[in-house]
Chains A and B, each alone.
Chain A
Amino acid sequence: MKNRLLKQTAIDKIILYFFLTITMIFFLFPFYWIVMTSIQPKGQLYSLTPNFIPKDVTIENYISILGAGKVNIAIALKNSLIVAISVTVVCIFFGIFAAYAFARLKFKGSNSMFVALIFAQMLPPVALLIPFYLIFKQVGLTNTLQGLIVMQISWLLPIVIWILYSYFKTIPDDLENSARIDGASKVEALLRIIVPISLPGLVSSGVICFVFSMGEFMSAMAIVNVTRLHTLPLALAQFVTKYSIEYGKITASAVLAILFPVLFVLIFQRYIVRGLTAGAVKA
């Protein structure tokens, strides 16, 4: 028989749902609020009583930010996606090989090299911005998307390696050995056996990499200052520096900016949890 303290009584249930409701309102209301703001006509946004349910629905905010305005969100979205997808693909590609070496090969200096990567990733970004800016200027990488991509790879590749490493560690040696007995080389065994089983790890590290890349702001601001190369965070920050802040347009842009990260996170939720806890919970 189960102890009564392990079971939820009616009162327990009420308390649980009460706090659950507060928690969910706190974390989700801001999303509800920007979506509602983004679909209301300008006139109703600045009335003294906010509409919790919009009286009139319009898509004029979305049309105006996607058209050719001063702040063009369509271009910013495209730039952000180019950068985020390139960074993710490169990180996954090189991450697979490095993580495999760290997880399954025995070699001198393996540990210290792994630690060096963690340290590189933990460096405060602001400390690297001046040299990055000056060096990039010399080699012509300021005001290019390639510059953003190179910079972000150096910060995100260690995270990808860390997550893949924790996946590769859990794959039993026997699987790899049986492929090797059949005559496959180590690299073949990695590509044919280990990579396919580690698909969840690839998804997890890929989505995490993508989300971080889409959000990167400070370093992008340091090396890009032309509107046509603005990524979403840069374009959004532009709204604040303008004299009149138009929240209809801002919230519409914000909704577009979070669309991809949020969709990916919801679809791949389980994998992401596993990836985020890779460095924090014993495998």
Chain B
Amino acid sequence: MRDKIGDSNNQTLNTMRIAVALALVLAASSLWAQEGFGTKAPSVTMAPPAAVAVRAGSLGKATLQFRVAEGFHINSHQPKSEFLIPTNLKLDAVTNIAVEKTTYPTGEDMSFAFDPGEKLNVYAGDFEVEVVVKPLAGVTPGKYTFHGTLRYQACDNAACYPPKNLPVNFEVEVAGAKQSPRHSIRNLADPKLK
């Protein structure tokens, strides 16, 4: 008899455990559904950039890769209205390394449900910004880090979000300046250097 009661209690306990576990699983799945359906914030992320190896006095190119979260778009660098906030990369100055040129991709002309008649120039998905840097000839070889921000303003099909600044960092590894052939020949011709 006692064994029977014990078995019965165990069975109830097990059922309760299963019930609680089921409730937790369903609750978790409901929270997951909530998170994954329409609540994600508009975000732009940057892939870790490769270091730019460049000789002093030469040009080096950093390719910065960005991704706009699915379902959102951001204005391109040259949006079609003066009031729209363009995507813009701002880099802090690094002593003895000049930013020669920043190249933004051409945006995509897209129309949206909120105004099918008008096309906006935007970035959606992945896009790249190229930065050409030039260490001055006299710069000490070594690693230098550029810091800056990518300013962007995101929208979805029905609403727009305030402008944001994404921190941007990339490294430039400067090697010593290449000696000119003329200089090298002169060096080789110099008996003192032999």
Please indicate whether A and B come from the same complex rather than being unrelated chains.
Answer: no
